[in-house]
A = this chain, B = another copy of it.
Amino acid sequence: MSGSDRALLARPQLTPRRRAIRDAALRLFAERGYEATTTTEIGAAVGIRGPSLYKHVSSKQDLLASIMLDVMDDLHDVHALAVAGIDDVADRLRRAVEAHVRFHTRHRLEAFVGNREIRSLDEANRAAVVDRRSSYERLIRGIVEEGVAASRFHVASVKLASYALLDLGMGVAAWYREDGDLSEDEIVYTYGRFALTLVGVAG
């Protein structure tokens, strides 16, 4: 089973309570960081005491790991859907970047935590997350490479261009606010165009 196949399988369903706990943990991890968030606080956010969390969750580390693994899988899903059946490489890049950026606005907390808390994961979980991340990077880089090979794109460095595209998404996750004065569509559209200029596509 390849990384991208795995991403398309359904993730196990959560009980409503478990989901509430995960959401609360996500918000707190994003706001103050994993290390600085206490189980007491996570509990309080769903109206129970810290120790009661353990009736639903096996550990704080597990909570972080499941958040991070799921977000990477979701990102793969979104990417696969966005580029499915698109033949033109410039279209594919634009759609991939749009999906990337849209994902980072719609799931900014998950993406934020996913980027920042890698070092808080234990060895095994970190390896799994890093693996998914590399696989996603390769997908984006693959599109850029293909465009260059077909002489549709012109870049000084494929690697640099790909990093730049990926970094824009992370940036969005850091500053985007739903109630801000930049709309999701506006950001998505503009960054999609940025992407094409970045790789020197004509038009």
**Footprint of B on A, CB under 8 Å?**
31-33, 35-36, 116, 119-120, 156-157, 159-160, 163-164, 166-168, 170-172, 174-175, 181-182, 186-187, 189-191, 193-194, 197-198, 200
A33-B35, A168-B171 given. 6 additional CB < 8 A pairs? Answer: A32-B119, A33-B119, A35-B36, A156-B190, A170-B170, A171-B171
Closest CB-CB distance, A96 to chain B, in whole Å? 17
Chain A contact residues: over half helix, strand or loop, or mixed?
helix
Bound: A120/B36 CA distance, A: 8
Who on chain B is nearest to A171 by CB? B167
Cβ B164 vs Cβ A171 within 8 A:
yes
In the complex with contacts A167-B168, A171-B164, A197-B197, A156-B120 CB distance below 8 A:
no
Return 15 A-B CB contacts under 8 Å, by A number. A33-B33, A33-B119, A33-B120, A116-B116, A156-B190, A159-B181, A160-B187, A163-B175, A164-B194, A167-B168, A167-B171, A167-B174, A168-B171, A170-B174, A197-B198
- Complex CA gap A163/B168 in Å reads 9
Complex CA distance for A160 and B105, rounded to whole angstroms: 13
Using known A-B contacts A116-B116, A156-B190, determine if residue A171 contacts B163 with beta carbons closer than 8 Å: yes
Q: Which residues of B contact A198 (CB under 8 A)?
A: 194, 197-198
Contact partners of A160 in chain B: CB under 8 A: 182, 186-187, 190-191
User: Could you tell me the distance in whole angstroms from the C-beta of A22 to the nearest C-beta in chain B?
Assistant: 21
- Please name the residue on chain B nearest to A200 by beta carbon: B197
Q: How far is the CB of A179 from chain B (nearest CB, A)?
A: 15
Q: How far is the CA of A159 from the CA of B191 in the complex (A)?
A: 12
Residues in chain B near residue A186, CB distance under 8 A:
156-157, 160
Please judge, given known A-B contacts A35-B35, A157-B182, A160-B190, whether A171 and B175 are in contact too, CB under 8 Å. Answer: no
**What 3 pairs between A and B have smallest CB-CB spacing?**
A167-B171, A35-B35, A156-B190
C-alpha spacing A119/B186, complex, angstroms: 29
